[in-house]
Structure 1
């Protein structure tokens, strides 16, 4: 027998250290390191980008709350001191040429830089000047009152020329009502005030024991096109110990205040029968009136007294009587007596000078004190702002001092941004956003509360519609729907997210809003009839014979609901006129407005809820559906195997397990709703009001940024407050995301063991 050599069946030895494998491992390790570095760089870049956005927003916002500064630029002796002490100080637009009115009636122009006299204009009349008044700093109109009862109207102006390419400012004095004085009274004038308008000028004068008022009416001769003046003078009820007088901007009222603070208001609308309208006390105690003047716009009266208090007053209309009443609004206070009060010419700001020589600068509306510095000694007596409020003239016993003022954003304070503010012309304090208007006397209103409220309101109504539909739809699609139908439905719903929001806003504003207004009864009836009708149909479907129900495969039942939903919607639309006629007098909008007293705006929160909800639904649906579908099948099969029904398995196993993903979907949808711009811009009326009414519009932070950033002046308060609004939106999103992540981690930890 032939013996054979046994075969070696041992497995061949594998060599893991061949050059090819070593090279492969090195390449793979290099790829791993590069991928790790790339992921780290990408993640760090995202974090860095977010931080840079945050820091840039803070960089733009920080100047709003920085303190103002005031620096001495020039000091010199009184220009033309021999003309007498100053009655009035001011400068021209560029703060290069100053002007002071001397006690003898002379007008002295001087260089602000060194005090050198440019020109001195003598008073036209030789009579003694006994009174002086300024119409307003911006009009440059002044009046001199004399002991013979006459008044001379003077206007200072400045001509700019460029000889040899250099700017030259030439001051001039004009006499808009002629060089002849106007007869105002038959007594020596002690106090004088005037107010000029396009149709008339009014002057009021008070003497030792008498008072009078004169109206100069302007009429255009249609033949010669010259302005003809006609005068009418009437006596006034005499008020003793008068310290100050003011005429309202519309020349309807005259305010006469005594040194003790008692003020009388005269109604001038019937010039032939001037009547005392009201009497009030401007302050209490033993204080004396120091100054009474108008704030920019000639609506607010600012009253300074010797106790150091400056109070603001303006007319407030009473709804019951439809009458205006001068009302105290707010005040600021210094610890010592005030000497003078100066108004800014282009903002609602003012400066106070007290007996210590300390100057404080405030904004009247925000009551924010931006400067409080001692600039002189106790001999300081006059202060005056440059037209741009970038300079301040101060007079004391040493002469004149010119200070450069850096005060860019005095109207901004936390109280004005987030609190109620009582604005001129309003009946009560309000939250108001109104950043621009057609006239220069307008006061910007920068309350962020209406914008923040509008953002939350829009998001609330959008989520109110989107969350139930999206989550319920995702639950059915992921858990109950047939796989073949799911593969068709899910992409269609996700495709909705690709629809541009500007198209949705366009359709919502121009089509859906008018349709909703015309079919309000149908809209509200659909919200009731549709769910009830679907439940009834589901019950009837369950009562049908099995042979009929088995004709529709399991998981395809939603297709049967399509004609039901269409029929119910058509039924509600067809029934809408009947409902309106029988229950709402044929006009449901009129019933809401007149019977319920609810304001109805065509583009409102209801429209936004439907339109923005339609935009948010795909986001919430897709994430929720993925979260539910990703629940391990072993969990559902184990629950069913233990005897639980499909519904019990869904509510007690699937939903708790998927809850972190569902919550994330809701928060992401909310973030989308908060940041949405075009839909709320086109479908809400874009009105920045605070009203929870579903039939009223709103303005959101994002929409406001889209509208106003392109039109704002770079570096202005408006510009920086818009950046503050963007920062608020950033912080709001950050807080929401932080809360969402915290809750998600909690839910994951709680249900992760299932």
Structure 2
């Protein structure tokens, strides 16, 4: 009946073709808008998920387990029962294509690491009737090697590899050279086998230490280079080493191993079952015993001793299958050798320890052929597997750490190592780590250095702490100012003045952060350092000036006060703030001279022990706070201004004062929006890059001191990503830092959204 009356109504025909077309077009537009909004929302979610999964894709390889797989196996060159072909030393070159074995006869045999094919034999100039008793290498950064002979002499030689490209194919040619002399060097007047040998080739001198007839002897050879011919001559200098004795009275000395560190400061002498004597040889004219200690407990023998990469740490294997890392630690003003961490290979005695050439990792084997792969800094046992049926005679790892060659019971195995990121562990990323030469464990970020034996320090704690520190000081400045400004602008300010003030504050957000960082680093930081007293006086004078002006204004006759329209009084505070601020800054120099002897930053450091850096958290707080204020202000002001007027009018009509209405009605109703404003501002502060990068010293330290700088996760990514090698541990750690930042922001925003919904539900009934 109703529809019939509409159809029969004069003047409007709802079924006219034009109206039908209009309704169809509007319906289509609604559908398109709905699908467009939905697609945009889904696109944003999809983009966030893609970012998350890409970060995860780059980070997951960091936590991949190590693997060792056999590439090939072939009979060893050694013939059964031929003692002259017993392997004394085994090595493999960088490309893992050519291996070298030093035999007791003095022959250096080069062969294909993968197939065992003989490539070259290079006999050392061993005198007739003499054999090689021991072959040692100076250190991982040097190619110099020494062969100790049964006649008490040594032969110094270098092994090298020349790479050529005939017919565009790589060819590696092994070479042996004698940098000093082909003739054997006599290191003592005794014609007896060299039972233990250690060498160290420095820039100025060559040091040789040996055990002959169980006596410790040492000689130094000063090096002189002819710059025309580039030939090096050496001049012998005898060294009188102190007598090494046992810890217990009457104990017979049995020198089992000698080591000289690359810096030529320490000579380590292993004797007895577990006794280590450290001799300071920094001054070769007056060496002295620095310390003597037991490396293991009673009843546990030391079975292997070697240097970790760099020669700072000692790796000590014992008869119970444990490997311990020791290095020098300064305690109470003195250096002492200290056990730092240990690793377990099993229950059988450790037989061999082979350090990696470019990382702080090592491989170890026991007497039953079990091999373990370990990394010291991350305190990780990466892999422990049986690799041979019995004791391993010799073992060598390629310089890149990607291949392993070992010889056991007449068989040589060539194995591939999958171990790209051993530096990463939960303790290395988030826990305190005791790094070499440090007095105690600490959180440190230092991803690179100039030397090859550098120990990476990849703790994310200083970066996370710096991120929170920068955000805290920025929010400490921005949140109160922005929220108070939003309250006054939305609730008390006259509409005409609000229409001018609000856009001006929001325009502040358009200022590029790189400009803010530039000004903060080059103008604000020196200004604060020079006017530090004035900054603190400013915090007292400006509030005091505002209160004094408010009291004076309230004391004026009403006829004068009413000349200023309601809500416009804030404009009168502008000259008050400027005058009180100028007064504070003008008194800065006088107060600093009077109270702090004309230098407050130095007084803070010397008197209170508070270090002061020019680019510090105070500068970041001011600059980043200036950048965050518009974000918080704009959202909070909209939330307060959007509170329904009938709530305000009803509260005032019931007798509440404007202040009571604000605190008990308006702010409670607008609290979800204000909370969102603070959280969005915090997210902006956490992710800020350029201001932190340019306004701080960018030093990754953990100190809450407002006068010291920091390094944030975002700034660290911006600084180090361009110089990181793609696919390296450093590269993936930076992606991990980005993932941590992403997850932190996601968690904070999720919690903020939950709190916002709860607040909205709680106060929606007002």
User: Above 0.5 in TM-score?
Assistant: yes
Q: Aligned runs of 1:487-566 on 2, under 5 Å?
A: 487-566=499-578
More deviation in 353-362 or 478-487?
353-362
Alignment of 1:239-254 (within 5 A): 239=245, 240-254=253-267
Residues 175-190 of structure 1 correspond to what in structure 2 (within 5 A)?
175-187=178-190, 188=192, 189-190=194-195
Secondary structure of 1:34's aligned partner: helix
SS at match of 1:17: coil
SS in 2 for 1:554: coil
Listed one character per residue, the Cα deviations across residues 436-473 of structure 1 (whole Å, up to 9, x for unaligned) are 11121112211111111000000000000000100001
- Correspondence 1:104-119 to 2 at 5 A: 104-119=105-120
Deviation string for 1:335-393 (max 9, x for gaps)? 22222111110111101112332211111111212222222112323221011111001
More divergent stretch after superposition (92-101 vs 78-87):
78-87
- Indicate the residue corresponding to 1:325 in structure 2: 336
- Paired with 2:404 and 2:74, the residues of 1 have a C-alpha distance of 14
* Cα deviation, residue 416, structure 1: 0.3
Between 1:598-607 and 1:555-564, the stretch displaced more is 555-564
Please list, as runs of the form range in 1=range in 2, the aligned pairs for 1:170-569 lying within 5 A after superposition. 170-187=173-190, 188=192, 189-220=194-225, 226-236=231-241, 237-239=243-245, 240-318=253-331, 320-321=332-333, 323-336=334-347, 337-569=349-581
CA gap 1:207/1:238 in 2 versus in 1, 3 angstroms = farther
**Is this contact kept in 2: 1:79–1:116, CA < 8 A?**
no
SS at match of 1:190: strand
Q: How many residues align?
A: 743
Superposition deviation, residue 43 in structure 1: 1.0
| 1:698 is aligned to 2:713 | no
1:628-647 residue CA offsets vs partner (Å, 9 max, x unmatched): 11101111111111111110
Structure 1 counterpart of 2:248 = none
The farther-off stretch of 389-398 and 16-25 is: 16-25
Change (3 A) 1:570 1:700: same
8 Å Cα contact 2:88/2:134 also seen in 1 = no
Unaligned ranges ≥5, structure 1: 1-9
Residues of 1 paired with 2:342 and 2:410: CA distance? 32
Q: What is the CA–CA distance in structure 2 between the aligned matches of 1:669 and 1:532, rounded to whole Å?
A: 29
SS at match of 1:748: helix
1:98 CA displacement: 0.5
Matches within 5 A, 1:68-87: 68-81=66-79, 82=82, 83-87=84-88
Partners of 1:22 and 1:274 lie apart in 2 by: 106
Larger CA deviation: 449-458 vs 138-147: 138-147
Per the alignment, residue 725 of structure 1 pairs with: 737
Q: Which shifted more, 460-469 or 351-360?
A: 351-360
Give the structure 2 partner of residue 102 of structure 1: 103
Q: Secondary structure at the match of 2:449?
A: coil
What's the counterpart of residue 39 of structure 1?
37
Tell me if the contact between 1:79 and 1:110 (Cα under 8 Å) persists in the aligned partners.
Answer: no
Q: Which residue of 1 aligns with 2:4?
A: none
In the alignment, is residue 59 of structure 1 matched against residue 62 of structure 2? no
- What TM-score results when the alignment is normalised by the length of structure 1? 0.96
Deviation at 1:324, TM superposition (A): 2.3
Q: State the match for 1:5 in structure 2.
A: none
Q: Point out the more displaced range, 110-119 or 650-659.
A: 110-119
What is the aligned-residue RMSD (CA, Å)?
A: 1.6
Deviations 1:268-309 (A, max 9, x none): 123233211101111113222222111111111111112111
Post-superposition shift, 1:31?
1.9
Look up the match of 2:620.
Answer: 608
* Counterparts of 2:454 and 2:609, CA distance in 1: 31
- CA distance in structure 2 between the partners assigned to 1:164 and 1:486 by the alignment: 80
- The answer on whether the counterparts of 1:258 and 1:289 sit within 8 Å (CA) in structure 2 is no
**1:687 partner SS:** coil
Deviations 1:167-220 (A, max 9, x none): 221111111120122221223221110111111010111122422110001124
Q: Deviations over 1:646-680 (max 9, x none)?
A: 10110011000000000000000000000101000
Contact conserved, 1:368 with 1:413, CA < 8 A, in 2?
Answer: yes
- Tell me the TM-score normalized by structure 2: 0.95
Q: How does 1:563-582 map to 2 (within 5 A)?
A: 563-582=575-594
Tell me if structure 1 keeps the 8 A contact 2:520–2:619. Answer: yes
Select between 613-622 and 348-357 the one with higher mean Cα deviation. 348-357
5 Å matches for 1:738-749? 738-749=750-761
Query: Given the superposition, is the C-alpha separation of residues 259 and 137 from structure 1 closer, same or farther in structure 2, using an over 3 Å criterion?
Result: farther
2:250 aligns to what? none
Check conservation: 1:516, 1:523, Cα contact below 8 A: yes
Gaps of 5+ in 2: 1-7, 246-252
CA distance in 1 between partners of 2:481 and 2:328 (Å):
52
| CA distance, structure 2, for counterparts of residue 382 and residue 131 of structure 1 | 13
